[in-house]
Amino acid sequence: MTDQLHVTVWNEYRHERGTGKPAEVYPQGLHVPIANHLREQGMDVRTATLDEPEHGLTDDVLAQTDVLTWWGHAAHAEVSDAIVEKVHQRIVLGGMGLVVLHSGHFSKIFRRLMGTSCDLKWRDDGEKERIWVVEPGHPIAAGLPDHFEVPMAEMYGERFDIPQPDELIFISWFQGGEVFRSGCTFRRGKGRIFYFRPGHETFPIYYQPEVLRVITNGVRWVAPDADTPPLRYGRHEALEG
């Protein structure tokens, strides 16, 4: 793609406005280091948060967004169904890409796209996570070693109740013994979706170079393909007489 990518980094942005650890780790919100990094890669990036009008996802913003990234946790239920519907249409019919991060697994938009509960096991004890690249030739794994570690993470364990991913790119191992499908791709209609597990509001995971590299690669991979010809539907003339 030659045109600059237009990315909207969406964050619930509630934990970080409190007084605890999330505010210490991400004083401006965890969307800010993600957005800054994507800007440094040459993308045109805006941010949007839950408490803005229309959650920052107006019709204009959605129309101008090639790729949306999504982080939510405590307030999934407060995301308006009308906005979720618009985001869904923009992905499935419009081809907007979606990168879902960490606890975004329980967001309305991800559950709607998956059609399953998206439930999982979890334990927030600050354990080491070792992330294995199991599809090293995939563009989302570009530039990564064969594994990398997050020193302190919240554990997510299988089973992760998602449909079989189109591609499984990362598998995580946790200190406590569990494993998890940490990097999964899906296609829904015209849209591409990438789920990436790492990231929790109390750990500085969104400053870690490997994690930011994966997010960058993921954004590029889910971006709509500008060369796709328009699709034709409806009555079709026979090709043979």
Interaction site with Zn ion (CB under 5 A) = 103, 154, 200
Minimum separation from the CB atom of position 145 to Zn ion (A): 24
**By C-beta, is 34 or 141 nearer to Zn ion?**
34
Element (H, E) at 70: strand 67-71
DSSP 2-68: -SPPEEEEEE---GGGSSSHHHHH-TT-THHHHHHHHHHTT-EEEEEETTSGGGG--HHHHHH-SEE
Min. distance of Cβ 152 from Zn ion in angstroms?
A: 12
Cα torsion 147, 151, 153, 156 to 10°: value is 30
Measured CA to CA, the distance from residue 8 to residue 155 in angstroms comes to: 27
Closer to Zn ion by CB, 66 or 129: give it: 129
Least separation, in Å, of the C-beta of 92 and Zn ion? 27
Q: Is 61 left (phi over 0), alpha (psi -120 to 50) or beta?
A: alpha
DSSP state of 106: G
Nearer to Zn ion by C-beta: 16 or 154?
154
Residue showing the smallest CB distance to Zn ion in the complex: 200
Beta carbon of residue 119, minimum distance to Zn ion (angstroms, whole number): 14
**Shorter beta-carbon distance to Zn ion: residue 72 or 191:** 72
| Number of residues written out for the chain | 241
Q: Between residues 103 and 216, which has the closer beta carbon with respect to Zn ion?
A: 103
CB of 204 to Zn ion, least distance (A): 13
